[in-house]
Structure 1
Amino acid sequence: MSDIKITPEAAIMRLPYQDWSTTSPSSIDAVAALEQGKVLFFPHLAFNLTDTEKTLLTPELADPKRKNISYQPKLQKLTGVAVEKQREAIQKLLAHHHRACQELVTSVLPEYRHTLHTPTNSLRLHPISAWKACNSWRKDDTRLHVDAFPSRPNYGERILRIFTNINPHGENRLWRVGEPFPELAQRFLPRLGRYSPLISWVQDKVGITKTRRSHYDHLMLQMHDAMKADMEYQNNGPQQAIEFPPGSSWICFSDQTPHAAMSGQFMLEQTFLLPVKAMKTPQNSPLKVLEAMLHKPLI
């Protein structure tokens, strides 16, 4: 495999937004670019922290066994906090970021505003290097991968993520972004193991998964692992490095866009799910791409 680069123009669309709730119309079709697998990059869209919120940027507040502190705004549920006296302040910060992300969706991705669901906000406090050092290769997010949920099958729904670098020390967050999903699927699909409805049923019954894993979920999880296990692909596969400085934000469909987080610390992340039928171009979804390649339904 040759050392192939993805051009920045192919991987990224830069957007000039500086306000999470801007009402200024844009001629840029952000939804089309996003559904093609591009990263929407907002170099000047900062999430400004109060002085009190800045005191929360310390890894000691997070459970060392968890990648992040997680907040489900619909359920008012906060998990992963190691210092109980800071629980209320952390929840307020994540609720604030969730509201800002809702406003950004209305501004930039208005087609999705009524169909995005199951929001989860995360505060990532650990440096990427520390998380990598104490986890298995499957959890090593410095390796190119597409996102898939091992225990929570999502039956083809899209994983939309909004990221913000809130590092107070000027440290960029460095990513690698890989090839378009159809090319990725062509490369890895022949390597993936067969789907077993029986095994899926057993995993559900014994509590390994929260619901039965569909053929689609099986393939995506296998692809996630196959990508991370292939060091030749990691080193020499098609990819482009991107730096996200403090005070910037970015959006991608993380189930579609191959990505790897190489370095950085302190980030806010908002996750939504989106039904495939709510897309402008459902044929670009991983579900429809894989179904077209295999000539059969996968859910």
Structure 2
Amino acid sequence: MNSIIELAAESWTQAVPSEVQERAIEELEAGKVLYFPRLAFELLPEEGIFLQSRWSSGGAKNISFERETGKIWGVSGNESEKTALSRMLRRYADSTREFLQNLLPTYAPSLYQARTSFRPIEISGRPTSYRKDDARLHVDAFPSRPTGGRRILRVFCNVNPEGKPRCWRIGEGFREYAQRFAPRVPAPIPGSRFLLSLVGATKGYRSLYDHYMLGLHDQGKLDTEYQQQSPQEAFPFPPGSTWMCFTDQALHAVDSGQYLLEQTFHLPRAALRHPERSPLTVLEEIIGRPLCASSR
């Protein structure tokens, strides 16, 4: 399937050749996963202590950090330990931001940096509901955090100290996936999306786009036959490697892995080189109507 595109990079801060920039943007917007096998995020000596599952509070699968406010949640430990972990996550947030500015300079003015997360729990065997089961092929959509058509660009780094890879599977193209499952998504109940915002169940108004993306996410995960028989490519991302993709477009599943850093960015459709490839445009063509007033 050739879903994984390997590119050379060994530094978060060095300039990126123009030919690599060109290939990166074309492959990303085609729904591919960019893979940097030698781009490692080096932990400081005192940060090695955080490579233990005990730092997760157990209430969520991720430890989350918000760079703008410094807020950290989903973590156990005293205030001093939380501060030290926050510093590590801030360094990762800053590193990914600088790297994307060098790799994808045309995106830089429009990139919005969202949450940083640390995933210290082994994903294999973790009990969960089907909606939260990342071992099933899916595209990302957030029930409580509508994107309004903005893209979800995520940068991952395996920091496992025991040599264990992060094992992914990549599925078929987004258009094929959406054509298969969009007809199964019921139209929203009139007034329901406004009510969700009013009571605070969603952080902002859930657009029609967000409604259909959540439907695609759920319908795909529910279809056991599709999960087992659809085309998919397995790939183990080793420790010390980095990869990124538009996770609202690249159909993906995670079979195993522990100790992962992840940074989320949002990008409006207007900032893309090929807005016609975005999930928003594809879904509007399939549904036959505009799905949000703006992707900003």
How many positions carry a matched residue from both structures?
289
Structure 1 moving runs of 4+ over 3 Å? none
Deviation at residue 24 of structure 1 after TM alignment: 4.1
Which residue, out of 164, 169, 187, partners 1:171?
164
Quick check: 1:97 aligned with 2:89? no
Which residue of 22, 25, 46 corresponds with 2:17? 25
The aligned residue for residue 221 of structure 2 is: 228
Aligned partners of 1:40 and 1:250 also within 8 Å:
yes
Within 1, Cα distance between the matches of 2:50 and 2:240? 17
Deviation larger for 141-150 or 69-78: 69-78
* Post-superposition offset of 1:262: 0.5
* Partner residue, 1:3: none
- Cα distance in structure 2, aligned partners of 1:215 and 1:24: 38
| Match in the other structure for 1:86 | 81
Aligned residue number for residue 44 of structure 2 = 50
Q: Give the SS at the match of 1:128.
A: coil
Cα separation, 2, equivalents of 1:94 and 1:197: 41
Instruction: Structure 1 unaligned segments of length 5 or more: list them.
Output: 1-6
Give the gaps of 5 or more residues in structure 2. none
Are the counterparts in 1 of residues 182 and 215 from structure 2 also a CA contact under 8 Å?
no
Q: Distance in 2 between matches of 1:24 and 1:196?
A: 48
Q: Which piece of structure 1 moves more, 195-204 or 70-79? A: 195-204
- 1:181 CA displacement: 0.7
Q: Distance in 2 between matches of 1:170 and 1:82?
A: 25
2:25, 2:189 → 1: CA distance? 35
Q: Who is 1:4 aligned against?
A: none
TM-score normalised according to structure 2 size: 0.95
For 1:182, the equivalent position in structure 2 comes to: 175
Checking the alignment, whether the CA contact within 8 Å between 1:62 and 1:83 is kept in structure 2 is no
The match for 1:126 among 98, 121, 131 is 121
Q: 1:118 to 1:188 in 2, by over 3 A?
A: same
1:40 equivalent among 23, 34, 39: 34
> Does 20-29 or 262-271 show the bigger shift?
20-29
- Kindly provide the CA deviation profile for residues 242-277 of structure 1, in whole angstroms up to 9, marking residues without a partner as x: 110000000000011110010010000000111111
Aligned residues: percent identity?
45
**3-state DSSP of counterpart to 2:117:** strand
User: Matched residue of 2:175: which SS?
Assistant: helix
Name which of 6, 17, 25 aligns with 1:14: 6
Superimposed CA distance per residue, residues 222-244 of structure 1 (whole angstroms, 9 cap, x where no aligned partner): 11011111111111111100110
Question: Which of residues 288, 291, 294 is equivalent to 1:295?
Answer: 288
Contact 1:13 1:39 in 2 (8 A): yes
1:114-156 alpha-carbon deviations (Å, 9 max, x no partner): 11114211011000025x32x2111110000000010111111
Structure-1 residue corresponding to 2:199 = 206
Corresponding letter in the other structure for 1:42: F
Find the residue that maps to 2:43 and give its secondary structure. Answer: coil
Select between 33-42 and 55-64 the one with higher mean Cα deviation: 55-64
CA distance in 2, matches of 1:291, 1:32: 22
Alpha-carbon distance between aligned partners in 1 of 2:204 and 2:287, rounded to the nearest angstrom: 24
